Structure 1
Amino acid sequence: MTFVLLPCLKGFSIPKRFNIAVMLFMMCLMSYMARVNFSLNIIAMTKPKNSSEIVPDQGPRYEWDQDDQALLLGAYFYGYLITSLPGGMLAERFGGRAVAGYSCILTAIFTALTPFAASWGVWAVFLVRFIIGFLGGVVYPCCHCLISKWAPPVEKGKFVAALMGGTFGTVITWPISGLIVESMGWPWAFYMVAIFIGLVTLVWFIIVDDSPALHTTISIEERDLILNSLGGSVSTKKKLPPFKYVALSLPFWSLLLLHYGNMWGLFFLITAAPKFMSEVLGFNLSSAGFLSSLPHLARLICAFGFGAIADIIRRKELISVTKIRKIFCIPSHIIPGVFLIILAYFGRDPYVCVAIITFSLGFNGAATVTNLANSQDLAPNYAGTLYGTINFVGTTPGIFSPMIVAYFTRDENTIDQWQNIFLIGAGAYIVPAIIFSILGSGKIQKWNDIDNDSNEKDVANTKL
């Protein structure tokens, strides 16, 4: 199937691997649209604390208190947590194309059912959001599995940066949802997302194949370029991951902690930023949606910038991959944590708060060079499984952060209560980065080539 996504000159066609990268971007975008739209829509779905406050007619409103809202905001992540772990193994066994594609079709259906669930009560909404999260948990492990088969090593930075499609999904979903809610009512903010996801998923099935060897229209030259660049690091044999060696790997554990810190900062802003912008800083719903998306736009732009810089450094072999991963932890984790500390003590002006949060998440775009890329370094054969495992643990902040926000803001919801929340986020960023700088690695581990079905002797990890 010949499909050119970008305009091209006569006689020139876009390499198929670039089309795959674009579709990875779109898959992550759709996943995040389904994930984050509820964070803004719930503001219009609930009655305000002050019963005398006049609210616009944007659809039915429900008497959900802070604990109910925290439960519903975390529901997605309960489901996401379950499938993140096996998502990589499912992709490696059945193919990332099918597993991610069918999950998105079902996600569109359940997203459209959310307004009906709301009329049935809190627990009906919780169930729908849980299912959407359950379906979404496989997406990123599937994408990592596809990257391991499609991306030449010197282009890994750009391919991993394509996963920032999720960030762009946040960028466009909140302001668009805010406008839809104010003009058409909050139910349509769910319906429009569902329609978009359904249409793009159809394109996904047309364009994407699980590997260059399976793609029917890829040129022989491009197929050989990709396969030769990967050498023997990626096997075509389907086999179980070497869990024993993964569990004993210090580089893997340091990656897990690094990813956890990154996801704490990210999920905190996804679940809490619209609430903070609207209820604490006092912006209206459409403004809250737009301003909440600015940090994610900065993250998207910086992600591609940092990814391109890392690719150049790697192509020219200026420093080792391990040093690249560790050095880029400064912008991806240390600097964002410092900005959250500044926010905790100096964030009193609404626009200063927005600026600080934007800088913090913008620098975190360098995560495409650190925790988002490192599973590809350690074990290309099991990149999906490794990412699924770290994402399994990294999902828990999506559950805990709304609870922490609810705990600190239960009696009063001012900037003073949010100070502790920001300091917790700063620690979650900085401490894992320090640990990774000591124990992390960018080398392929020897257990990448172990076959659990054979009687091969035990092998030790490569040196850090």
Structure 2
Amino acid sequence: MTFVLLPCLKGFSIPKRFNIGVMLFMMCLIAYMARVNFSLNIIAMTESTKNNNETLPDQGPRYKWSADDQALLLGAYFYGYLITSLPGGMLAERYGGKAVAGYSSIFSAVLTALTPLAASWGIWAVFAVRFAIGFLGGVVYPCCHCLISKWSPPQEKGKFVAALMGGTFGTVITWPISGIIVEGMGWPWAFYMIAIFIAIVTAVWFIIVDDSPAQHTTITTEERDLIQKSLGDSLSSKKRLPPFKDVAMSLPFWSLLLLHYGSMWGLFFLITAAPKFMSEVLKFNLSSAGFLSSLPHLARLLCAFGFGAVADTIRRKEWISVTKIRKYFCIPSHIIPGLFLIILAFYGRSPYVCVAIMTLSLGFNGAATVTNLANSQDLAPNYAGTLYGTINFVGTTPGIFSPMIVAYFTKDQNTIDQWQNIFLIGAGAYILPAFVFWALGSGKIQKWNEIDKDSNQTDVINTKL
């Protein structure tokens, strides 16, 4: 939590890179608020299809959306997110992460506020709004990786990447707050309040953030030189189209892609399905479901900063190579979470045991800040945004598939027995990619990161277009 606590110290000169870290945290936080609020709100928006005699609380209009309809709406965000994840890094590298992420968030706030109106128009209007919010949100993380590559000294990489866990904290606070708002004011206000908060944070983002130390107007000469010297010649000031052919032939890149996919499966499964599981299977009320669903994400957030700090210490003291750091930390980030899901599948019959195991599983996955979330920075700092955008493009698909899988296994009955298969699928998605990464992964800068100083002008992106 270094980035969050340092600005609170009065009389202390805060390095500008820490301010950037705080805003990276907050940008990811509001991106996830826009992403996850619907997972809980949809419970209050939908009529029960299991028991027609059930009396439902008056929390706003309810709609006759079937399990398949709900799966479609829960996946809508990820359909849009999928499209812009791929070019998001290139957009950030060309136009700057500050502008691309900032304008994306402003429009996301507007669309979030319009969601209740869309619901009154029909299911396809809601789908369109959620799709558009996802379309806008797909650029945020590639933009953040682009900014990290320019602002983070290598010895602080773990803490900077851990700042991306702002998204996890967004989940932690959104579900409990939404549950309280829904029960007290109705579900439309759960959209309105979040939209207002997103707009406020984005305004601060535009004030504080710049695309690089060289562009920051108030940074000290000492700090600017420190950052630039620490990055050395691994980061070029030139802008060029990414070497797509070399990336496609890179085994370290493909192993990273699979590792990221496995981590995102576990994360997106809990984002889209946990509130439904807590409310309908474990029978917690909506505010309790929101709070308990957020506990695994809180554990992930805290562990992310812990694992990131440990990895930074190991790297600073040069105890082991960067490649070994990435591979060893796959044990907490992927293997242990997968094993916990296997335990959950066979022994998770008590509601509170289920919550505890899910919390431990996602908590250990906080080590992803040292593995799949950091590795694109290792392989190609010049194209970190593009690489992350590419792996996130594929890593987004679990957000589409997991609601479909949940709907398939629970369409006839919705008990813990049906969820057993869902947990086992998640365990496999965690564990198998870790073995691939152990065999093929790398923490070394790849040759295709280099930008030839004698490159033809046709290869160089004209940023004035």
Name the TM-score, length of structure 1 as normaliser.
Answer: 0.96
Distance 1:398 1:29 in 2: 18
Residue of structure 1 in register with 2:38 after alignment: 38
Q: 1:108 to 1:451 in 2, by over 3 A?
A: farther
Distance 2:394 2:116 in 1: 30
Residue of structure 2 in register with 1:270 after alignment: 271
Distance 2:21 2:54 in 1: 48
Distance 2:305 2:15 in 1: 19
Residue of structure 2 in register with 1:461 after alignment: none
String of CA shifts for 1:379-430, please: whole Å, max 9, x gaps: 0000000000000000000000000000000000000000000000000000
Runs of at least 5 residues in structure 2 that lack an aligned partner in the other structure: 458-465
String of CA shifts for 1:14-43, please: whole Å, max 9, x gaps: 100000000000000000000000000000
Query: Counterparts of 1:13-28 in structure 2 under 5 Å?
Result: 13-28=13-28
Residue of structure 1 in register with 2:460 after alignment: none
Query: Counterparts of 1:140-219 in structure 2 under 5 Å?
Result: 140-219=141-220
Distance 1:220 1:240 in 2: 31
Letter aligned with residue 28 of structure 2: C
Residue of structure 2 in register with 1:88 after alignment: 89
| RMSD of aligned Cα (Å) | 1.2
Residue of structure 1 in register with 2:359 after alignment: 358
Distance 2:6 2:441 in 1: 37
> Do the aligned partners of 2:98 and 2:143 also contact (CA within 8 Å) in 1?
yes
Letter aligned with residue 299 of structure 2: A
String of CA shifts for 1:247-301, please: whole Å, max 9, x gaps: 0000000000000000000000000000000000000000000000000000000
> Do the aligned partners of 2:238 and 2:451 also contact (CA within 8 Å) in 1?
no
Name the SS of the counterpart of 1:341 in structure 2: helix
Residue of structure 2 in register with 1:462 after alignment: none
Query: Counterparts of 1:314-353 in structure 2 under 5 Å?
Result: 314-353=315-354
Name the TM-score, length of structure 2 as normaliser.
Answer: 0.96
Letter aligned with residue 198 of structure 2: I
Residue of structure 2 in register with 1:460 after alignment: none
Indicate yes or no: 2:82 matched with 1:64. Answer: no
Residue of structure 2 in register with 1:97 after alignment: 98
After TM superposition, what 4+ stretches of structure 1 lie above 4 angstroms from structure 2? none
Question: Residue 9 of structure 1: CA displacement?
Answer: 3.6
Question: Residue 454 of structure 1: CA displacement?
Answer: 2.8
Q: 1:343 to 1:101 in 2, by over 3 A?
A: same
Letter aligned with residue 251 of structure 1: P
Distance 1:52 1:153 in 2: 60
Runs of at least 5 residues in structure 1 that lack an aligned partner in the other structure: 457-464
Distance 1:27 1:9 in 2: 24
String of CA shifts for 1:173-222, please: whole Å, max 9, x gaps: 00000000000000000000000000010000000000000000000000
Letter aligned with residue 186 of structure 1: W
> Do the aligned partners of 2:236 and 2:451 also contact (CA within 8 Å) in 1?
no
Residue of structure 2 in register with 1:446 after alignment: 447
> Do the aligned partners of 2:112 and 2:195 also contact (CA within 8 Å) in 1?
yes
Name the SS of the counterpart of 1:213 in structure 2: helix
Higher mean displacement: 48-57 or 298-307:
48-57
Name the SS of the counterpart of 1:238 in structure 2: coil
Distance 1:144 1:453 in 2: 27
Residue of structure 2 in register with 1:392 after alignment: 393
String of CA shifts for 1:291-339, please: whole Å, max 9, x gaps: 0000000000000000000000000000000000000000000000000
Name the SS of the counterpart of 1:218 in structure 2: coil
Count residues in correspondence: 452
String of CA shifts for 1:231-261, please: whole Å, max 9, x gaps: 0111111110000100000000000000000
Q: 1:233 to 1:452 in 2, by over 3 A?
A: closer
Distance 1:453 1:127 in 2: 46
